[in-house]
Amino acid sequence: MSPMPALPTLGPRISFVVIALTFALMTTGGTIPIPLYTLWGEQLDFGAATTTWVFAVYVFGTLMALVVFGGLSDQVGRRPLALVALGAAFVSTLLFILAGNVAMLLIARFLSGISVGLITSAATAALAEVYRGDNQAFPAMISTAANMGGLGMGPLLAGATAQHLPHPTTTVFVLFISLVVLTTALTFFIPETSTRRRRGPIDWTPHVGVPAEARRVYVRSAIAAVPTFTLLGFFSSLTPRFIRDTLDIDDLLIAGAATFVLFQVGVVAQLTLRSRPPRWNVLIGLPLLVVAMALVLGGFLQPSTWVFGLGAVVGGVGAGMTLMGGLRQLVQRLPHSSHAQGVASFFIAAQASLAVPVLMIGGLTSVVSLETATVAVVALVVAVASLAFVMNLRFHLAAGEQPNPERR
């Protein structure tokens, strides 16, 4: 019997686009449930405490995938791990559609976290490897844009379908699972980009971390990612409450659109400032995060829609710049053999920070007011952002740490 012919593969340019869209789709799936928590709460009879746990389970799934499997694509290849991520997303979405109790919701949220964690390191590494252009900063920029763009699309898509289409907690997932199936089919035609796949038994020991030559840049990149994702988590969790309770607007589309604006402003900032050196983006982006937190807090406490909205715009610019700059300066120092595990290590710090506002506010509001808990989260973000700024500035001013301006 003659062997089955190999599937044809897409060219580098089309493959690059498909990988980027796959990454954006997976991160979209990670934030789709955010506007739906109140609806599930009414249907399944649970309150804010359970909502906090549902979100925490998602973050735990993401972190587990990054820690345990983050460097696995360096051994087995990028495409197999992407297919597993898509499979996890399919099962997760099916459970969301069928969810009739909190347990199913928790399992679905955990699997959606697994899918995002698996795709993050594999897609970021694959984008850098399939790229054939001269601008070596371009893949990292597209990776961060796909990440932030997808995170922003989830609440908008869920808010629009829940507000204006029937079956508010299932329609968006029917649409999403259709896109997952289509993307899975396309992934079979993507060429394998990793040339260092392991022959023989797979080493299942968690491979995260960075080699010695990249550790210093990892520390300053990771600590810059912490306030960035804490701000994103803070805004995502605070915005629906602000719109509903303060503005007295009970519209899921508007709540989703507000979160969408923050993330897409970040994408625009990344595309606009892509030619700037990574150090420039980080050192400008971090102070903008501090300004944004002050504006969002002021708009929430006054309350003022304009101040809150301005904080969202400033925060989007700062988050986009800091995330892009931090990832780029790390990727530039990573050897090919540890690309995926290095990227996974970066996003472990980032994704862990995403849960800080939800868990912190959820825990503190049992003993203090919402306003006091919000101030505490803001103070934490400002402190970490200030520390990250000082560390990055000191590294860049230190002898021997001046990066090459031509190395984008």
In the predicted model, what is the mean pLDDT of residues 279-291? 93
Q: What are 39-69's pLDDT values in tens digits?
A: 898 888 887 778 778 888 998 899 888 888 8
Regarding predicted confidence, which is higher, 174 or 249? 174
**What is the pTM assigned to this prediction?**
0.82
The C-alpha atoms of residue 83 and residue 293 are separated, in whole angstroms, by: 38
Which of these, 297, 380, 76, 347, lies nearest to 199 by C-alpha position? 76
Query: Is the four-CA dihedral 332, 28, 31, 245 of positive or negative sign?
Result: positive
- Judged against a pLDDT cut of 50, whether residue 74 lies above it is answered with yes
- Judged against a pLDDT cut of 80, whether residue 219 lies above it is answered with yes
- Judged against a pLDDT cut of 60, whether residue 223 lies above it is answered with yes
In the predicted model, what is the mean pLDDT of residues 186-196? 83
In the predicted model, what is the mean pLDDT of residues 193-216? 69
Regarding predicted confidence, which is higher, 68 or 281? 281
pLDDT value, residue 356: 83
Which of these, 102, 171, 124, 89, lies nearest to 19 by C-alpha position? 124
What's the fold here for domain 12-195+211-397? Growth Hormone; Chain: A; (1.20.1250)
3 exposure class (CB count in 10 Å sphere: 0-12, 13-18, 19+): exposed
- Judged against a pLDDT cut of 90, whether residue 90 lies above it is answered with yes
Q: What are 323-355's pLDDT values in tens digits?
A: 889 988 888 887 766 777 777 788 888 888 888
Q: What is the largest CA-CA distance in the chain?
A: 76
Region at 100 (left for phi over 0; alpha for psi -120 to 50; beta for the rest): alpha
Query: Is the four-CA dihedral 372, 374, 380, 382 of positive or negative sign?
Result: negative
Backbone angles phi, psi at 248, to 5 degrees: 55, 40
Q: What are 225-271's pLDDT values in tens digits?
A: 999 988 888 877 777 777 777 777 777 888 788 888 888 899 899 88
pLDDT value, residue 11: 85
The C-alpha atoms of residue 325 and residue 89 are separated, in whole angstroms, by: 29
Residues 115 and 26: beta-carbon distance below 8 Å = yes
Calculate ∠ Cα 293-25-73, nearest 5°: 100
> Residue 173: helix, strand or coil by DSSP?
helix
DSSP conformation class of 34 = G
pLDDT value, residue 239: 76
In the predicted model, what is the mean pLDDT of residues 356-368? 81
DSSP conformation class of 213 = G
Q: What are 290-299's pLDDT values in tens digits?
A: 999 899 888 8
Give the confidence band of 1 by pLDDT, cuts at 50, 70, 90.
very low
End-to-end CA distance of the chain: give it in Å, rounded. Answer: 52
- Judged against a pLDDT cut of 50, whether residue 399 lies above it is answered with no
Give the confidence band of 203 by pLDDT, cuts at 50, 70, 90.
low
Regarding predicted confidence, which is higher, 213 or 285? 285
Give the confidence band of 26 by pLDDT, cuts at 50, 70, 90.
very high
> Residue 122: helix, strand or coil by DSSP?
helix
Amino acid (one-letter) located at 131: Y
pLDDT value, residue 4: 42
In this structure, the number of other CB atoms found within 10 A of the CB of residue 104 comes to 15
